[in-house]
């Protein structure tokens, strides 16, 4: 079992720091890394594909420039998705999980992030062609060589994890989980994290609340607006507090690259939603009362 205490409960997602978002230069990356540490966020989430396979390298230059000690931060990265990008032309989007590829990808991430090890390596998406024994072989080698500390997955179902665990232990699952996208509470995914003491991480923890104006969001807005005054909290904080209340003890990966919103996210950990308020928000999300 991993030591979850090593990771900050709010994780900074780096997907929008580079070409897929803010386009930060190395000084801006350095400044944001140091700011995160100042407010208590020490864990940074990456994937090799971010920025069309460029963001890890941009982050690495900024990290080196920051002079932050490696032991004071935790790096998560993912591999496996193959996009058709300028840096890596492909004929079709697909997944690659051969032992040679995983080894090459990790080495590349280490070089780009300018570090000797990853705190977590995650397989980014499940592939129909996944070979558990092959995964086990390469993960064992990476751990033995000190290049990764822990191994997990992202977007895997409980049955896919069970298949993988015939050969290798899976310590975490990073999945989509928010008030507007909460299927993982009912399909066994978060139950699996609790039952097997896996670290549960949530990508897109604010969901579609700020992106859509559909009936679901309108229902949630009607319920959440009065709660802002009751808890003296912003919508962002209440949306995070809602998922933080789940017993899987989920770690939200907050994708903002804005300092004020990162700081606000930490306040969500102090909000204890009352039971009926939590269910009122769930009812608003689903459009009906619980069975």
- Euclidean distance between CA atoms 106 and 108, whole angstroms: 5
Q: Which residues contact 189 (CB under 8 A, 6 or more apart)?
A: 157, 158, 173, 175, 183
Q: How many CB atoms lie within 10 A of CB 106?
A: 23
Banded model confidence at residue 3, pLDDT cuts 50, 70, 90: confident
The answer to whether the CB of 189 falls within 8 A of the CB of 158 is yes
User: What superfamily would CATH give domain 4-170?
Assistant: NADP-dependent oxidoreductase domain (3.20.20.100)
The answer to whether the CB of 282 falls within 8 A of the CB of 290 is yes
- Euclidean distance between CA atoms 36 and 34, whole angstroms: 5
- Euclidean distance between CA atoms 26 and 263, whole angstroms: 21
User: How much is the average pLDDT of 252-277?
Assistant: 97
The chain-wide mean pLDDT, for the chain, equals 97
pLDDT given for residue 1 in this prediction: 58
The structure tokens listed for 221 are: 């807005």
pLDDT single digits (tens) 103-127: 999 999 999 999 999 999 999 999 9
User: How much is the average pLDDT of 202-225?
Assistant: 96
Domain ranges of the chain: 4-170
Q: Which residues contact 190 (CB under 8 A, 6 or more apart)?
A: 175, 177, 184, 200, 246, 248, 250
User: Running DSSP on this structure, what letter comes out for residue 231?
Assistant: H
pTM listed for this prediction: 0.96
- Residues with a catalytic annotation lie at 50
- Euclidean distance between CA atoms 240 and 269, whole angstroms: 8
């Amino acid at each position: 079992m991993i030591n979850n205490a090593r990771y900050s409960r709010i994780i900074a997602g780096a997907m929008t720091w580079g070409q897929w978002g803010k386009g930060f230069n190395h000084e801006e990356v350095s400044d944001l890394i140091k700011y995160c540490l100042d407010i208590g966020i020490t864990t940074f989430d990456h994937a090799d594909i971010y920025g069309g396979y460029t963001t890890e390298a941009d982050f690495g230059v900024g990290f080196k420039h920051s002079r932050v000690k490696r032991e004071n931060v935790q790096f998560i990265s993912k591999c496996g998705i193959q996009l058709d990008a300028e840096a890596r032309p492909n004929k079709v989007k697909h997944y690659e999980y051969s032992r040679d590829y995983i080894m090459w990808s990790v080495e590349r991430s280490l070089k780009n992030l300018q570090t000797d090890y990853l705190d977590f390596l995650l397989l980014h998406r499940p592939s129909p062609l996944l070979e558990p024994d092959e995964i086990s072989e390469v993960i064992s080698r990476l751990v033995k060589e000190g290049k990764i500390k822990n191994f997990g997955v992202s977007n895997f179902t409980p049955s896919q994890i069970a298949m993988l665990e015939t050969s290798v232990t899976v310590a975490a699952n990073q999945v989509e989980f928010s008030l507007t996208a909460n299927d993982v509470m009912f399909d066994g995914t978060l139950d699996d994290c609790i039952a097997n003491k896996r670290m549960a991480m949530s990508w897109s923890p604010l969901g579609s609340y700020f992106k859509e104006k559909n009936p679901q969001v309108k229902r949630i807005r009607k319920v959440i607006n009065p709660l802002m005054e009751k808890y003296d909290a912003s919508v962002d904080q209440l949306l995070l507090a809602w998922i933080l209340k789940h017993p899987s003890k989920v770690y939200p990966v907050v994708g903002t690259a804005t300092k004020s919103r990162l700081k606000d996210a930490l306040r969500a950990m102090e909000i204890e939603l009352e039971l009926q308020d939590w269910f009122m928000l769930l009812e608003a999300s689903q459009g009906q009362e619980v069975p």
